[in-house]
């Protein structure tokens, strides 16, 4: 169990990271909004509590490795890495711009600490499995995490990897599914139904844990439990809210691929979207007075 | 005459007396040797370990052999993870499936990711014969050649396949090695040099070249036989073995074009995007000369024997000689 002060610290980090995500997307003028906001709590827990890592030594051989499979949510990874000390926070505003290390989809060689190149869906879990297998061959204890989306489970390559990791009992591998129920064209269950999702993974010889992806205790407990499962890999199905933190866009699949400034105008005009979202984050959805409103 | 520097088998011009072995066999031997030299070498098979000649490696190094099942996309991406961690994975299947089916996975997770996975495409070309068009990769060089960071090698015989395997194991880069199923003449020797990116003159002399024949893979030996027969007609042909299609040996190629003034390319692959395309790109830029192309012209393969198919697609010795005559007329 995390202490109250640990949880408070993680929550404050997550708010700051969400603000950075909005600022980055506004500056970039393109990119995905819903997924990064939905995975912010998990990335915050990863970089500020779970991962064995060193931001000043990204190639440290003893580090745990976090593979990002659905590369389009990389703003959350960039923002979290910057806040964790991998690179200066102001560099976040170079996202998607010419000459930036922060490519629209992540490229391993561009930015130390990224671990893998991704964007085209369905290949991250395989890469994570290969790393986990290589580490096991050498008797190393590092843990591999793979953050992936629910939508990319439409890809055959995903299931090839699920079958492979289950067959090889890769207990040093933990997959975390961003179960936010949306993909670009609509909800997962209308586009290509995934349920019963947990049963499918169990049938492929994975240990399954389902959590609230916004509850830091559940996130940390699930990872701790996963590390004790020795006979198979573990998948954490993290139920998340797309657009989490900004209630006007939560659950709305139309914000999957739109940045603030280009989203649907039900609530705010395009030109107001960035500032309104930041205001909402900085006031914790109106619960407090913003300490640093523009 | 054979170029003595290439140290080819003395019987190269007498095909019936040469050993016949497949390039895939050379790969299998080279892989075991690479495995002995470096414990980070691992091999992955997509349910084809015998026919891709990984079986011996799998017996000698069972803990470094990974069976993937019939899943070529996973084959490439798991290997990406292994290489990213520090292993040197060789991934083996038929070329139509890998790098055919898993092209995007190779592009994103191996080439752009820039990790040293070695892609071994077996059963390439029409020479696989009776299996027919579905299994005859004629586009694999093209789709690999256009990929940044990728090395592309098409060995001419079993010995060169072995040497190429050892070379890519040490290169630290992504690589594609194209192999054939059928037994073909083994005309290089243990003394023949192989270096990635370096072409080698196998027949003739640059000093009195009338025509340059640039060949790769199974057609190098046919090109040598054609050049030898042309010598009887008073035509001095120089045969350049362009085993590395990428990075292509620009210097060797331009030297040949300057000396000979006309070029014929020979490959068991689509001319478009293949060796023919690669040679034309370099010469158009650096030293334009007439070029004739031996290769497959925008067609699929079909069932038949290797000899029947080589005749049908004009990959045989007579067709190379005709192409040389056509090229000379254009000089």
Q: How high is the pLDDT of residue A253?
A: 85
Catalytic residues of B: 72
Q: Is residue A266 situated within a structural domain?
A: yes
Q: In chain B, whose CA is at the least distance from the CA of A69?
A: B109
A91 touches chain B (CB under 8 A): no
Is A135 part of the contact surface with chain B (CB cutoff 8 Å)?
yes
pLDDT at A291 over 80: no
Please give the residue range of the domain that contains residue A67: 4-282
DSSP string over A195-252: -SHHHHHHHTT-EEEEEETT-HHHHHHHHHHHHH--SS-EEEEEE--TTTT-TTTTT-
Number of Cβ within a 10 Å radius of residue B232: 7
Edge-to-edge strands, sheet with A173-179 = A65-68, A144-149, A173-179, A234-239, A207-212
- A123, A132, A135 member nearest B77 (Cβ): A123
pLDDT digits (tens, 9 = 90+) for A136-161: 999 999 999 999 999 999 999 999 99
Nearest to B280 by CA among B292, B295, B269: B292
Taking the Cβ of residue B109 and every Cβ of chain A, the question of whether any pair is shorter than 8 Å is answered with yes
d(CA B327, CA B211): 8
Question: Is this structure's pTM higher than 0.90?
Answer: yes
Q: Considering the domain boundaries, does residue A14 fall inside one? A: yes
| Residue at A56 is within a domain | yes
Segment A233-285, tens digit of pLDDT? 999 999 999 999 999 999 988 898 899 999 999 999 999 999 999 999 988 77
Residue to test with chain B: of A58, A114, A126, A141, most B Cβ within 10 A? A126
Q: Do domains B4-17+193-329 and B20-185 have the same CATH topology?
A: yes
A105 φψ region: left (φ > 0), alpha (ψ -120 to 50), beta (else): beta
Residue A289, pLDDT above cutoff 80:
no
Contact of B167 with B177, CB cutoff 8 Å = no
Of B63, B81, B86, Cβ closest to residue A128:
B81
Domain count, chain A: 1
- Rounded to a whole number of angstroms, the distance from the CA of A244 to the nearest CA of chain B is 30
CA dist., res. B219 & res. B241, Å (int) = 9
Q: Does B204 touch chain A (CB under 8 A)?
A: no
Q: How many CB pairs under 8 A join A and B?
A: 98
Q: Any idea what the CATH number is for the domain that residue A23 is in?
A: 3.40.50.970
Over residues B158-202, the pLDDT tens digits come to 999 999 999 999 999 999 999 999 999 999 999 999 999 999 999
pLDDT digits (tens, 9 = 90+) for A30-76: 999 999 999 999 999 999 999 999 999 999 999 999 999 999 999 99
State which fold the B4-17+193-329 domain adopts: Rossmann fold (3.40.50)
Which SS3 state, helix, strand or coil, does residue A49 take? helix
pLDDT, averaged across chain B: 97
Domain-located, residue A274: yes
CA–CA distance, B44 with A160 (Å, rounded to integer): 14
Could you tell me the fold of the domain covering B20-185?
Rossmann fold (3.40.50)
Contacts of A262 (CB under 8 A, 6+ apart): A29, A30, A270, A273
Residue A68 lies in a domain: yes
User: Is some CB atom of chain A closer than 8 A to the CB atom of B85?
Assistant: yes
Residue at A290 is within a domain: no
Residues from chain B that touch A163, judged by Cβ atoms under 8 A, are: 69, 71
Which pLDDT score is estimated for B163? 98
Smallest CA–CA distance, residue B161 to chain A, in Å, is 27
Q: Verify whether the Cβ–Cβ distance A134 to B86 is below 8 Å.
A: yes
Q: Give dist(CA B124, CA B180) in Å, integer.
A: 5
- Point out the residue among A107, A131, A161 whose CB comes nearest to the CB of B74: A161
Contacts of B62 (CB under 8 A, 6+ apart): none
Do you find a cis peptide bond into B247, omega within 30 degrees of 0? yes
Residue of B nearest to A155 (CA): B73
Q: Where are the domains of chain B?
A: 4-17+193-329, 20-185
User: Helix (H, G, I), strand (E, B), or coil: what is residue B97?
Assistant: coil
How far is the C-alpha of B9 from the C-alpha of A21, rounded, in Å?
Answer: 66
* Residue A289, in any domain of the structure: no
pLDDT, one tens digit per residue, over A192-232 is 999 999 999 999 999 999 999 999 999 999 999 999 999 99
Chain B positions touching A74 (Cβ under 8 A) are none
Given the structure tokens 């603030």, which residue do they identify? A260
A287 domain-assigned: no
Question: How far apart, in whole angstroms, are the C-alpha atoms of residue B90 and residue B73?
Answer: 14
| Whether A122 contacts A54, CB under 8 Å | no
Measured between beta carbons, which residues in chain A are less than 8 angstroms from residue B42?
134, 137
């Amino acid at each position: 169990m995390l202490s109250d002060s640990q949880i408070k610290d993680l929550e404050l980090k997550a708010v700051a990271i969400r603000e950075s995500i909005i600022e980055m997307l506004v500056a970039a003028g393109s990119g995905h909004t819903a997924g990064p906001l939905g995975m912010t709590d998990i990335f915050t827990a990863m970089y500020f509590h779970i991962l064995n890592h060193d931001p000043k030594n990204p190639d440290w051989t003893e580090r745990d490795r976090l593979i990002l499979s659905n590369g389009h949510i990389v703003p959350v990874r960039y923002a979290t890495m910057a806040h964790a000390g991998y690179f200066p926070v102001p560099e976040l505003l170079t996202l998607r711009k010419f000459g930036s290390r922060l490519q629209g989809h992540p490229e391993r060689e561009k930015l130390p600490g990224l671990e893998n190149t991704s964007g085209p869906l369905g290949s991250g879990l395989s890469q994570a499995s290969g790393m986990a297998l290589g580490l096991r061959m050498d008797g190393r204890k590092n843990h591999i995490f793979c953050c992936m989306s629910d939508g990319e489970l439409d890809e055959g390559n995903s299931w090839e990897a699920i079958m492979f990791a289950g067959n090889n009992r890769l207990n040093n591998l933990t997959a975390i599914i961003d179960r936010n129920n949306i993909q670009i064209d609509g909800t997962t269950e209308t586009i290509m139904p995934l349920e019963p999702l947990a049963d499918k993974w169990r049938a492929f010889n994975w240990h399954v844990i389902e959590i609230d992806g916004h509850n830091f205790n559940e996130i940390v407990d699930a990872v701790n439990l996963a590390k004790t499962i020795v006979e198979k890999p573990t998948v954490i199905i993290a139920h998340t809210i797309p657009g989490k933190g900004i209630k006007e866009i939560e659950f709305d699949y139309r914000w999957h691929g739109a940045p603030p400034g280009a989203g649907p105008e039900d609530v705010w005009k395009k030109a107001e979207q960035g500032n309104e979202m930041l205001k909402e984050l900085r006031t914790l959805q109106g619960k407090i007075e913003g300490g640093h409103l523009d | 005459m054979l170029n003595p520097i290439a140290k080819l088998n003395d019987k190269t011009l007498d095909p019936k007396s040469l050993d016949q072995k497949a390039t895939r066999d050379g790969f299998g031997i080279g892989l075991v040797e690479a495995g002995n030299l470096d414990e980070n070498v691992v091999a992955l098979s997509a349910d084809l370990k015998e026919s891709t000649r990984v079986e011996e490696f799998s017996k000698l190094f069972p803990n470094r052999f990974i069976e993937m099942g019939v899943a070529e996309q996973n084959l490439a991406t798991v290997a990406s993870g292994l290489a990213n961690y520090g292993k040197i994975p060789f991934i083996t299947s038929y070329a139509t499936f890998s790098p055919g089916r898993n092209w995007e996975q190779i592009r994103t997770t191996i080439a752009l990711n820039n990790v040293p996975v070695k892609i071994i495409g077996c059963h390439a070309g029409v020479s696989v014969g009776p299996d027919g068009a579905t299994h005859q990769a004629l586009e694999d060089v093209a789709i690999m050649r256009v990929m940044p960071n990728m090395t592309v090698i098409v060995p001419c015989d079993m010995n060169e396949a072995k040497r190429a395997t050892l070379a890519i194991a040490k290169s630290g880069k992504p690589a594609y090695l194209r192999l054939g199923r059928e037994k073909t003449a083994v005309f290089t020797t243990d003394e023949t040099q192989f270096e990635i990116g370096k072409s080698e003159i196998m027949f003739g002399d640059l000093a009195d070249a009338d025509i340059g024949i640039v060949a790769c893979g199974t057609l190098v030996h046919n090109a040598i036989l054609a050049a030898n027969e042309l010598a009887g007609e008073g035509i001095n042909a120089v045969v350049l073995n362009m085993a590395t299609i990428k990075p292509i040996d620009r210097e060797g190629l331009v030297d040949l074009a300057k000396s000979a003034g006309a070029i014929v390319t020979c490959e068991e692959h689509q001319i478009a995007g293949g060796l023919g395309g690669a040679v034309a790109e370099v010469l158009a830029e650096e030293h334009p000369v007439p070029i004739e192309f031996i290769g497959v012209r925008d067609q699929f393969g079909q069932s038949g024997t290797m000899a029947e198919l080589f005749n049908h697609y004009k990959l045989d010795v007579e067709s190379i000689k005709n192409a040389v005559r056509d090229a000379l007329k254009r000089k």
